[in-house]
Amino acid sequence: MALGHEPFVAGWPVLVALVVFALALPRSRRGAALAGWLFGLGYFAVTLRWIVEPFLVDVARHGWMAPFAIFLMAGGLALFWALAAWGARALAGPRPVAVLWLAVLMALAELARGHLFTGFPWGLPSYALIGSVWDVWFAWVGPYGLTFLVAAVACVTAYCLIRGWTLIWPALVGVLFATLGVGAVTPVAPEPADRVVRVIQPNAPQHLKWDRDWMGVFYNRALDLTQAGEAADVVIWPETSVPALVDTAGPLFAQMAEAARGAPVVAGIQRASQGAYFNSAVVLDGPTTVADIYDKAHLVPFGEYIPFAALLRPLGLGVLVDQVAGFTPGAGQGLLDVDGLGRVRVLICYEGIFPEEITTGTDRPDVLLILTNDAWFGQGAGPRQHLVQARARAIEQGVPVIRSANTGISAVIDARGDIVARLDLNEAGYLDAAVPRALPETVYARMGDWPLAVLLVLCTFAGVVARRRFAVDGGQAGA
């Protein structure tokens, strides 16, 4: 099932694997829970294999944590699937209808995985469908809704096979036509705007990024890329690409503004205030003016901060807490006004994987801007999967995405999720591209995940009521 995701790019294994899992679902609750956990363990371990990469940047200090990180992450996330499989058998018992409940409960489990304990929606099954005819559904029901549709198609197929019905093929053809029909009424790809954005990709390897002998090299490289060629209308630097704190970066800001030749610059930088540190983005308007600033609000647990750090120190885990420098979450919404782009929603790295992070309604942005440093994720699946999620954000909101990544993949993505221009991994350079215009606000942008959450909860509640009534009626009939 994990082969459906980048870098393999073959969405069909997701559907096939879910069908096989539904057909093989054990008849007991305990067996189903164990099968669900093992299935999830394999899926998440392969999909999230890139998670060991940050621990290999400094192998001497952190390498020993890598095996524990991948097993604990995959095993923890697999608990959601174990609970879904257990619930399917709890609601339906050994009856074949359990596979239909599996679709409902797996979708509910994925929705919970994306929100509980700060959430981690990486690797949603629906992301395997980006680039196919199915991806238009992101604009209608979002990534969780499409995950539900995929699970429903797989589990209905399994149910038809179990029952020996021959209606499966007309049903699948109907689903295909419904998908194509939705695609036909979706707005056409937008026209590019007049303004040209320059995306800077300095390509600073993580093990050298904060080396004092190399910081100036990467900064000067970004500066040279900014002033190369014809001037752009807006210049974008990636996450933490300015090697200074905001308060001491005045001379650097002046150099950046001069290199941009009058264009505003949006750049990732760190900021200190009253003993707290922030992972930030600044908007430079001229050599001495910081026009706006955004502090990253959704931090990476155990990467940018340690949850419950105050409780861990008394337990003798102060060494673990001290190994993470620790950022403080910002309080803003990330909406910045940038001349040449309009209203911009800034998402710093990790924030880009959460569809609900984006402000909509009256504050709907004109552009989504993702500043990231994917050097942590290695050269394989991590950066590619991160890019796929940026494409999903574009489709969900009907808004173009500009992605500036330190080592790649940097890209300009239109509101249909199509990549207009890109810079590949481990390539230093700049990307000049006209930014496409936004499309009308999508259904998902207006509604969010609430309709799906209510539907899944009501279905589960109805299943519990039906199960109790079935048990009472069955008991009376037996008596």
Please, which pLDDT band fits residue 183 given cuts at 50, 70 and 90? low
* Contact between 38 and 91 (Cβ < 8 Å): no
Backbone angles phi, psi at 473, to 5 degrees: -65, -40
Residues paired with 265 in a beta bridge: 235, 284
**More confidently predicted of 286 and 323:** 286
pLDDT for 104 beyond 90? yes
> What's the whole-number average pLDDT of the chain?
87
Look up the pTM and report it.
0.90
Distances, alpha carbon 300 to alpha carbons 121, 125, 399, 461, in Å: 13, 22, 25, 34
pLDDT at 477: 41
* Contact between 436 and 404 (Cβ < 8 Å): no
Residues paired with 276 in a beta bridge: 273
Put the strands of the sheet holding 429-436 in their side by side order: 290-295, 276-284, 265-273, 234-236, 192-201, 429-436
DSSP state of 64: G
DSSP state of 179: H
Question: What percentage of the chain has pLDDT greater than the value 90?
Answer: 59
Residue 7: asked if its preceding bond is cis (omega within 30°), the reply is yes
Q: Which of 409, 401, 402 is nearest to 429 (CA)?
A: 409
296 tagged catalytic = yes
CA distance linking residue 203 with residue 133, whole number of Å: 34
**Considering 239, 304, 351, 396, which one is annotated as catalytic?**
239
The tokens for 417 are: 């999720």
264-304 per-position pLDDT tens digit: 999 999 999 888 899 999 999 888 788 899 999 888 887 77
Q: Which of 352, 369, 370, 374 is nearest to 426 (CA)?
A: 374
Please, which pLDDT band fits residue 475 given cuts at 50, 70 and 90? very low
193-249 per-position pLDDT tens digit: 778 999 999 999 888 888 899 999 999 999 999 999 899 999 999 999 999 999 999
**Considering 53, 349, 351, 357, which one is annotated as catalytic?**
349
Put the strands of the sheet holding 335-338 in their side by side order: 335-338, 342-348, 367-372, 401-405, 410-413, 419-423
Amino acid type, 408: G
239 tagged catalytic = yes
**Considering 53, 209, 296, 396, which one is annotated as catalytic?**
296
Amino acid type, 121: P
Q: Which of 278, 377, 269 is nearest to 326 (CA)?
A: 278
Amino acid type, 476: Q
Work out whether strand 342-348 and strand 276-284 pair parallel, antiparallel, or are unpaired: unpaired
Q: Which residues of 231-252 are buried (b: 16+ CB within 10 A; e: fewer)?
A: bbbbbbbbbbbbbeebeebeeb
110 tagged catalytic = no
Q: Which residues contact 343 (CB under 8 A, 6 or more apart)?
A: 335, 336, 337, 363, 364, 365, 366, 367
Residue 226 burial (CB count, 10 A): 26
76-98 per-position pLDDT tens digit: 999 999 999 999 999 998 899 99
DSSP letters for 446-458: HHTTHHHHHHHHH
Q: Which residues contact 414 (CB under 8 A, 6 or more apart)?
A: 189, 190, 394, 400, 420, 436
Residues paired with 338 in a beta bridge: 342
Residue 402: asked if its preceding bond is cis (omega within 30°), the reply is no
Mean pLDDT of the 173-191 span: 64
Distances, alpha carbon 256 to alpha carbons 63, 248, 253, 311, 410, in Å: 37, 14, 5, 43, 20
Distances, alpha carbon 442 to alpha carbons 51, 139, 357, 398, 415, in Å: 33, 6, 16, 6, 10
Residues in the chain: 479
365-388 per-position pLDDT tens digit: 999 999 999 888 878 888 999 999
